[in-house]
Amino acid sequence: MSDNELHWMSATELAAAIRGRDVSSVEALDHFVARIRELDGAVNSVVHWDLERAGTAALAADAALTAGDDVGPLHGVPMTIKDSFQTEGCVTTSGSPELAEYVPTQDAWPVARLRDAGAIPFAKTNLPLFADDIQTFNDVYGTTNNPHDLDRTPGGSSGGSSAALSMGFTPLELGSDIGGSIRVPAHYSGVMGHKPSYGIVPGHGQIPGMPGTLTQADLAVVGPLARTVDDLELSLDVIAGPDRWTSPAWTLALPPSRADELTEFRIAAWIDDEACPVDADTRRVLGDTIDALTHAGGSVDAEARPGFTLSKAMTVYGELLFAALSGGVAKDRLDVLASNDDDTPMGWIMRSSAARHRDWLSNNERRLQIRERWSEFFTDFDVILLPVHPRPAFAHDHSMPQFERRVPIDGLDRSYLDLWTWIAPAGLGALPATVVPVGTSADGLPIGVQIVGPFLHDRTTLQLARWVSQIMSERNSWPASCPRPAIATR
């Protein structure tokens, strides 16, 4: 097996190769480490090693195969882990100087499940401070750059994760998503990501909250990033299940895909909206995707809409999001935020962050009303295609406050908040959303599509993602279903 084959293999392929003794776990680990040391300098995606324990685990994995032991589906597969997930015995900072030397005594639940399946975490990947941005930079490890254009962000908060996948540094990653933190980096970096239905993957052991926190944040989910849909589904099966409170009595059995063949899917598409117009490149690429699916025999309704507006979804989602992110804010500071009456995006964010419980209850009812509209919509359709963002990756901008930043979209200077608008409908609805790359902008930046389905029908979005990925990778002549950045092809 050549080195080039190894680092672009999927996790599924690499696990099979290790089981078949075509390559050892030790050889795979050594190869990824050497590749990162050679190529990651300009990207800065991998920020902390756990090589001694990983090396021991790889030796044990190879010995288990020699002994004929039963092994898990990811047996011997090296992988990296986003630095917001606690890893037993390995520094976990979540980008915070306060935690620069924090070494957890146990794994976060999804990390533990990956280890139980045989995966070998060997390094941590970068993120913004406490996973709180769609760009990836912090005062502990610095800035992560987009492999497709080093002057741009790879997205966030799982930006180190997506960049490492894009570079062939790992076959699999673990991400989290409350404000698009799986979906946005997948879109910006040209890889795949799956935001699961809310509540099916326990996230105990993430930071934030601070170590020891037991609360599962509203809207937040944990899910995989990869370069193939098969890897997304395999890893979802590994990490999904009951949480610490429900495990004595509950099990999880996700329903099968509503359809298997492309011609069987009832597909809707909502690819632009006056509430948050997408740029010309995004409109072109998503339009090409609809045309390609139709030409391949799919049925796509580009006019169908759920029974709510994009603007309404963003308003309710935003108010719930900023309330969910305010758990660590001191009471006297909340009083100041609540009294703000500025008619600006920052004023709205401040008031949302300081919402009283009665305000949250009102927004929660609005959320449930929108979930009901989604449920009604999915009686007639199996999936809906949405943009991930109104544009591809943009140039680094680390100015503060975050939400006073501006972003150029088709020549217009627009609010940074616009970058959350297309994330809102699936997040608010607790719905599964699979992102796959489908094209590039005029200057070669990846553009992904968000495939959203009914609550708990994760296998439906994943199955259509297989078709979309196959059709669009063939159209774009992409290997392994994802575009490869020039600096990663050495």
pLDDT tens digits along 449-488: 999 999 999 999 999 999 999 999 999 999 878 999 999 9
Confirm if 131 and 154 have CB atoms less than 8 A apart: no
Q: Residue 25: what pLDDT?
A: 98
Domains in the chain: ranges and CATH: 3-304+380-488 (3.90.1300.10), 310-370 (no CATH)
Mean pLDDT, residues 5-18 taken together? 96
pLDDT tens digits along 66-125: 999 999 999 999 999 999 999 999 999 999 999 999 999 999 999 999 999 999 999 999
Confirm if 114 and 224 have CB atoms less than 8 A apart: no
Phi, psi of 444, rounded to the nearest 5 degrees:
85, 15
Q: Which pair of structure tokens corresponds to residue 436?
A: 């796959």
Confirm if 408 and 200 have CB atoms less than 8 A apart: no
Residues 421 and 274: their CA atoms lie apart, in Å, by 12
Phi, psi of 264, rounded to the nearest 5 degrees:
-90, -15
Give the three-state DSSP class for 192: strand
Q: Using pLDDT thresholds of 50, 70 and 90, give the confidence band for residue 339.
A: confident
Phi, psi of 313, rounded to the nearest 5 degrees:
-60, -45
Residues 58 and 63: their CA atoms lie apart, in Å, by 9
Range from 338-352, 353-367, 391-405 that averages highest in pLDDT: 391-405
Residues 299 and 482: their CA atoms lie apart, in Å, by 24
Q: Using pLDDT thresholds of 50, 70 and 90, give the confidence band for residue 153.
A: very high
- Say whether pLDDT at 357 is over 80: yes
For residue 80, which of 141, 184, 161 has the smallest C-alpha distance? 161
Mean pLDDT, residues 2-19 taken together? 89
pTM of the entire predicted model = 0.96
Q: Which pair of structure tokens corresponds to residue 387?
A: 């943009």
Q: Residue 482: what pLDDT?
A: 95
Q: Is 82 a catalytic residue?
A: yes
Burial group, residue 217, by CB count within 10 angstroms (0-12, 13-18, 19+): middle
Burial group, residue 126, by CB count within 10 angstroms (0-12, 13-18, 19+): buried
Peptide bond into 209 cis (omega under 30): yes
The DSSP element (H or E) to which 340 belongs, if any, is: none
Read off the amino acid at residue 461.
T
Q: Residue 344: what pLDDT?
A: 80
Catalytic residue among 10, 25, 45, 82: 82
Distances (CA, A) of 37 to 141, 169, 288, 300, 416: 16, 10, 38, 45, 34
Q: Using pLDDT thresholds of 50, 70 and 90, give the confidence band for residue 363.
A: very high
Buried b (16+ CB within 10 A) or exposed e, 460-482: bbbbbbbbbbebbbebbebeebb
- Say whether pLDDT at 490 is over 70: no
Give the three-state DSSP class for 184: helix
Any alpha helices (H) in 141-260, and if so which ranges? 159-166, 183-189, 229-239
Any alpha helices (H) in 8-149, and if so which ranges? 11-19, 25-39, 51-66, 109-116
Catalytic residue among 45, 96, 181, 197: 181
Read off the amino acid at residue 410.
D
Residue 411 Ramachandran class (φ > 0 left, ψ -120 to 50 alpha, else beta): left
Residue at token pair 């979309």:
468
β-pair partners for 225 = 173, 193
- Say whether pLDDT at 4 is over 60: no
Q: Is 181 a catalytic residue?
A: yes
Q: Residue 85: what pLDDT?
A: 98
Q: Using pLDDT thresholds of 50, 70 and 90, give the confidence band for residue 215.
A: confident
Catalytic residue among 94, 157, 257, 469: 157
Mean pLDDT, residues 307-333 taken together? 87
pLDDT > 70: what percent of the chain? 97
Q: What is the mean pLDDT of the chain?
A: 95
State the helix-helix crossing angle for 345-353 and 310-324, rounded to 10 degrees: 50
- Say whether pLDDT at 280 is over 70: yes
Q: Residue 342: what pLDDT?
A: 81
Q: Residue 329: what pLDDT?
A: 67
Confirm if 156 and 409 have CB atoms less than 8 A apart: no
Confirm if 26 and 62 have CB atoms less than 8 A apart: yes
pLDDT tens digits along 167-213: 999 999 999 999 999 999 999 999 999 999 999 999 999 999 999 99
